[in-house]
Amino acid sequence: MSTVGLVDYGIGNLLSVARAFEHEGATIKHVHTPEELRSCDRLILPGVGAFADGMKGLWSRDLVEPLCEYARAGKPFLGICLGMQMLFDASEEFGEHQGLGLIPGRVVAIPAVGIDRRPHKIPHIGWSPLTLPPERSTWESTPLQGIRYGEPAYFVHSFTAAPKHEPDRLADCHYNGVVISAMVARGNVFGAQFHPEKSGAMGLRIIRNFLAL
Amino acid sequence: MHNVRIIARLDVKGENLVKGVHLEGLRKLGDPREFARRYYAQGIDEIILIDIVASLYERNSLLHLVERTTSDVFIPITVGGGLRSVLDVQKALRAGADKVAICTAALKRPELVREIAGTFGSQCMVVDIQAKRKAPGQWEAYFDNGREHSGRDVVEWARQVADLGAGEILLTSVDREGTAKGMDLELIQKVTAAVPIPVIVSGGVGSAEDFTDAVNVGKADAVAMAHVLHYNHQTVAQLREHAIARGVPVRRFDSAA
């Protein structure tokens, strides 16, 4: 079955991601260097924690340009959580920080109040249903193929990506009425704000779909 | 409203799942891995695994168990018990934990909360607060499974750990723990109103009604349960059905998904 590169840039915990992909039959290869990255045909950029730390981890390992090259080569690329946020142009988390710029848009704080103007808990933690964004007509031929509208996935985050172009939104969710970009897609580049590796059977299905792209 | 999380709490001693009253008087219930798998299959939202003797004996027997228990359970796992440093947390994460729950070490040195949140992210840092009622409307933070008292007021401590960067609070009522006589709703109300971060409540759930009361009355963001689940008084599906009947939003789950 397919070999998947898992970018290891010194941040967060790769074990859960590796286990979930291995459960679906993938062989995981940890990627630390530009050379290792260039040999991949399928790539995951995981990550939790702060945006600036994540980008620093990529810069210090000279992985930023190789990641962009990889994405331009048209091969399947999935960013998870912070890994999705880093696909964007920039983030406002603890100051202004530049991202990979693979998907136009910015990463901003989740609004501190719900749609009813009442304060809600931050981080957004828990299982939120995925919905089809207004500009999308289907999840066919994407990692969400076969997932039912309204199927919940596990989220934990305080910041959220705001794609500049509506068609880049693959799935949304709502946190007390606030629209959150749950998944993005631009060609071969995908990002999931939720954790497929922690979303039970539906998450494993998404991983299986990604492996079949 | 956001979905409330239904969490299974597995207290372990050595290799065994145990259940006690007031965090003492332990009874062995079996292999925690089997319980974790059962709850996962039933659609539990998360699992909390606490080594209840690690902190007492200043040792950490947890890692092997975490590795075994988490290998085929694809939902968030929080691990606690005896973790004292950034290095301990790193080991727990490498064994398969997604978050860590810290009680004693945080009370002894609150700055540890900031260090862990700074190193691994707030999403990983759960502060375990063991609350014991001292006077009407007043609770003190305990540690070592409710045996030792810290002198800290629970509500003040909750505010402080939120400021230090904790991502969540696990609030356990020592008075109600293991009694199945209902949760300390007043305590839950006080803490959930005091902090901007999610609060997982634990201790005293004996029925599905106790669970929904914690949400509807106490405004809990998540409820961790042991007794009702371990003794099969309620399945996760029954809890979910009851929640919906009481207007508490929970994750939709179909075992066929």
3-state DSSP of chain A? CCEEEEECCCCCCCHHHHHHHHHCCCEEEEECCHHHHHCCCCEEECCCCCHHHHHHHHHHCCCHHHHHHHHHCCCCEEEECHHHHCCEEEECCCCCEECCCCEEEEEEECCCECCCCCECCCCEEEEEECECCCCCCCCCCCCCCCCCCCCEEEEEECEEEEECCHHHEEEEEEECCEEEEEEEEECCEEEECCCHHHCHHHHHHHHHHHHHC
Query: In this complex, do A121 and B221 lie within 8 Å of one another by their Cβ atoms?
Result: yes
Nearest to A58 by CA among A93, A34, A27, A76: A34
Query: In this complex, do A199 and B74 lie within 8 Å of one another by their Cβ atoms?
Result: yes
Which of B74, B124, B221 is facing A20, going by the closest CB pair? B74
Model pLDDT for residues B117-140, shown as the tens digit of each residue: 988 889 999 999 999 999 999 999
Tell me if chain A has a CB within 8 Å of the CB of B68: no
Query: In this complex, do B74 and A127 lie within 8 Å of one another by their Cβ atoms?
Result: no
Model pLDDT for residues B215-247, shown as the tens digit of each residue: 999 999 999 999 999 999 999 999 999 999 999
- Looking at every residue in chain B, the average pLDDT score rounds to 92
pLDDT at B189 over 50: yes
Model pLDDT for residues B79-104, shown as the tens digit of each residue: 999 899 999 998 898 888 999 999 99
Cα A19 off chain centre by: 17
Report the chain B residue with the minimal C-alpha distance to residue A122: B197
Q: What is the pLDDT of residue B206?
A: 93
Neighbouring CB atoms inside 10 A of B57's CB total 11
Q: What is the pLDDT of residue B226?
A: 94
Which residues in chain A land under pLDDT 50? none
Q: What is the pLDDT of residue A169?
A: 98
pLDDT at B192 over 90: yes
Tokens (6 digits) for A184: 């993005």
Closest CA of chain A from B26, distance in Å: 31
Q: What is the pLDDT of residue B60?
A: 58
ipTM computed for the complex: 0.94
* CA B209/CA B205 separation, integer angstroms: 8
Residues 6+ positions from A161 with CB-CB distance below 8 Å = A84, A85, A87, A88, A103, A105, A106, A107, A181, A184, A191, A193
Neighbouring CB atoms inside 10 A of A103's CB total 27
* CA A26/CA A5 separation, integer angstroms: 10
- From A24, A40, A81, A124, active-site residue: A81
User: Model confidence at B257, in pLDDT bands (50, 70, 90)?
Assistant: very low
Read off the pTM: 0.95
The average pLDDT across B182-210 equals 97
Q: What is the pLDDT of residue B27?
A: 84
Closest CA of chain B from A205, distance in Å: 9
Query: In this complex, do B4 and A129 lie within 8 Å of one another by their Cβ atoms?
Result: no
Tell me if chain A has a CB within 8 Å of the CB of B120: yes
